[in-house]
Amino acid sequence: MALHFSSRAAGSVSMYFLPSHFVYAVHLPVMTFLQCLRKNWVPAVATAVVFSVHIAATWLLVNCHGVGIFGVAMAFNHSWVVLAALLLLYALGGGCPETWSGFSVSAFVDFKEFVTLSASSGVMVSRSLLNTVPSLLFTSVRVANELGAANGNGARFATIVSTAISFLISVFASFLALIFHNKLAMIFSSSGAVIDAVDKISVLLALTILLNGIQPVLSGVAIGSGWQAQVAYVNVGSYYLIGVPLGVLLGWRFNYGVPGIWAGMISGTTMQTLILALITLRCDWNKEALKAGNRVRQSSSTK
């Protein structure tokens, strides 16, 4: 009963956060644009400003007006809007004079190729509710910058460093999940049913943390290298031909319930991670850098 109530409450709360997803569609490209220009200080300053606004908005809505979790969500959405507006104002308001001179029809050059790449990217990063794709941006931008500069060794080094760091962090987090397996849920709930349920699937949680510490980085490498179309097939095959069928089989046919469904999805993530790792290991970075450099020169000559 407690689990059912928690699920319904979580579903209701998630609806309040929907506006932030639309704002993210503006925030992400502007953030990427500034990072490509090595102006990371701009998002840092904007985030610091928005943080104080977020605290004030949350306090007013929750403590003064008593609107509870709805107020938390509204404060969160408001903060995202302010952050996106600040970044957009800087980028388009004169902060990037060498790279932004106003709107132009040149933006539609190679538009067909852009749409094709975007569609492949959308398929590539589509995931189930149990698996998200955190922090793809940093790896993809770094690798793309190095390849665009015809620096194959730099792209390879960025891949190794990002993967190693993410792997070590995920190993540490996985160990914490195993060590505190019977106490993890206490962070979020005091319900005995919830605590016991989380305790029973702590091993699956630890394995998920480990895989999701590697897979997002490899996906980021794929985005930065322009392999979206290729990896889209890998993702669709891994999840919808392996993960989902196996999860349905274990969850309902063999009556393992949530652990069975989760185990099936983990199998899809495992297959995806292994294939991405194989593709990355077999990559000729100097060849990829040469191809990227040629594309940059062709794009410049077209404009």
pLDDT 10s digits, 69-107: 788 888 888 999 999 999 999 988 888 888 777 777 777
Report how far apart, in Å, the C-alpha atoms of 141 and of each of 36, 144, 217 are: 7, 5, 11
Say whether both 285 and 195 belong to one domain: yes
pLDDT of residue 139: 55
* Percent of the residues in the chain that have a pLDDT greater than 90, as a whole number: 15
Dihedral class, residue 269 (left if φ above 0, else alpha if ψ from -120 to 50, else beta): alpha
Please give the residue range of the domain that contains residue 46: 9-102
Q: In this predicted model, what pLDDT tens digit does every residue of 267-298 receive, in sequence order?
A: 999 999 999 999 999 988 888 888 777 766 66
One-letter identity of residue 47: T
Instruction: Name the domain count of the chain.
Output: 2
Say whether both 97 and 129 belong to one domain: no
Report yes or no on 108 lying in a domain. no
Average pLDDT (206-231) is: 82
Sequence-distant (≥ 6) Cβ neighbours of residue 98 within 8 angstroms: none
Report yes or no on 300 lying in a domain. yes
DSSP annotation of 184 reads: G
Say whether both 133 and 260 belong to one domain: yes
Say whether both 74 and 128 belong to one domain: no
Average pLDDT (11-32) is: 82
Say whether both 97 and 128 belong to one domain: no
Report yes or no on 24 lying in a domain. yes
Say whether both 179 and 49 belong to one domain: no
One-letter identity of residue 255: N
Average pLDDT (145-153) is: 78
Say whether both 17 and 134 belong to one domain: no
Say whether both 163 and 54 belong to one domain: no
Report yes or no on 1 lying in a domain. no
Say whether both 173 and 286 belong to one domain: yes
Say whether both 165 and 282 belong to one domain: yes
Say whether both 202 and 274 belong to one domain: yes
One-letter identity of residue 96: C
Q: How far apart are CA 204 and CA 177, in angstroms?
A: 10
Long-range pairs of 282-287 with CB within 8 A, sequence gap ≥ 24:
283/156, 283/225, 284/152, 285/147, 285/152, 285/153, 285/155, 285/156, 286/152, 286/153, 287/152
Say whether both 50 and 143 belong to one domain: no
**131-140, 179-188, 221-230: which is most confident:** 179-188
Which pTM value belongs to this model?
Answer: 0.58
